[in-house]
Amino acid sequence: MLTVVRVQPNVFITGLLPDQHYRFVLATNEALVPEIQQMHHTSEDLARQAAGLLLGSFFLCAHSAKSEDRSIGIHLQRKNPPERMIAQSKPDGEGRISMGEHDPDLPTGNLLESGSILRVTRWQENRKLAFTSLVGIRHHDLGRSLDYFIQQSDQIMSSTRIVPVPSSGIFFEALPQATAGDHGAVLDLAFELQPDVLLGPLAEGKSWQIKSAFVFVPLHSGNFTLKCDCSTDKVRLLVRFMGADEAAQLLAERGKIEIKCEFCQKKYCFSEQDIASIFQS
Ligand SMILES: [Zn+2]
């Protein structure tokens, strides 16, 4: 009997290649594309690029993830024409996207041009500590740019490979026992491997062997969700930073202050009384 394996549109699987002493993270967030498109009123093409960026930030999170309270943000900025996009991910698959203002009818093209810049921010201890690095775009390719970033930031010989064929990808990371031979074998595999080939079988939770030498053993899996942690308290703090003078000016012009979260588009509205209480406390 023929078994049809359905490719999961929204899943991440982490596991091991025990023979090569490598760990892998395999993921697809295809299901988020229409969700991003709807939330940000954007074209399918731009939503797909955003999903790819989100996947990239997830892979960076999954890289040597020692603490669960870590999150990673990637800010992608293109110079000409100017366009920007921010993706933030947590190791459990939760993430959020912010897009710059743009005309949805204009063609956007690829944001990954040679003049584009990636700014990677790693937060630790629930966003109390942040480390930011700048990464130049290499070969118009997000995966290669992030590989380069990981190699630079680790300052040790490591073999990683991210292949975000939007919106799916695979990430390989060497374990301490891996030998030069293991690095070579996994890199060769990574360059020719299409992540979709593995997603269906591994999503079933069973080990999977390819090219006779590589056994993929899945250990853990989860799903991606768009989730924002904005709150009235955080937005009140933002108003406080704005300063009493500017707040008073906005109130005089509009009678209220409305702030939209750039990530989830939720609107926060403050009356004159609310503003007064913000600056009293
Ligand atoms: Zn929000």
For 91-121, the pLDDT digits (tens) are 999 999 999 776 656 666 778 877 888 999 9
Å from CA of 237 to ligand 1 middle: 14
Q: List the CATH number of the domain containing 156.
A: 3.55.30.10
For residues 267 and 189, membership in a common domain is answered with no
pLDDT at 15: 94
pLDDT at 62: 81
- The mean pLDDT value for 7-28 works out to 89
d(CA 85, CA 48): 12
- With tokens 């937060």, the residue in question is 123
Q: What percent of the chain has pLDDT over 70?
A: 86
**Total count of domains within the chain:** 2
- The mean pLDDT value for 177-182 works out to 92
Please report whether residue 4 resides in a domain.
Answer: no
For residues 93 and 53, membership in a common domain is answered with yes
Range in 21-25, 89-93, 164-168 the model is least confident about = 164-168
Domain of residue 18, residue span: 11-226
For residues 236 and 104, membership in a common domain is answered with no
Nearest to 225 by CA among 113, 102, 96: 96
pLDDT at 156: 46
Å from CA of 172 to ligand 1 middle: 32
Strands 214-222 and 225-226: unpaired
Å from CA of 100 to ligand 1 middle: 15
Q: How confident is the model at residue 65 (pLDDT cuts 50, 70, 90)?
A: low
Q: How confident is the model at residue 8 (pLDDT cuts 50, 70, 90)?
A: low
Å from CA of 87 to ligand 1 middle: 13
Q: List the CATH number of the domain containing 243.
A: 3.90.1280.10
pTM: 0.86
Kindly list the distances between the CA atom of residue 237 and the CA atoms of 124, 195, 230, 233, 258, in Å, as whole numbers in the listed order: 21, 43, 11, 6, 14
Å from CA of 96 to ligand 1 middle: 8
Q: Is the pLDDT of residue 59 over 60?
A: yes
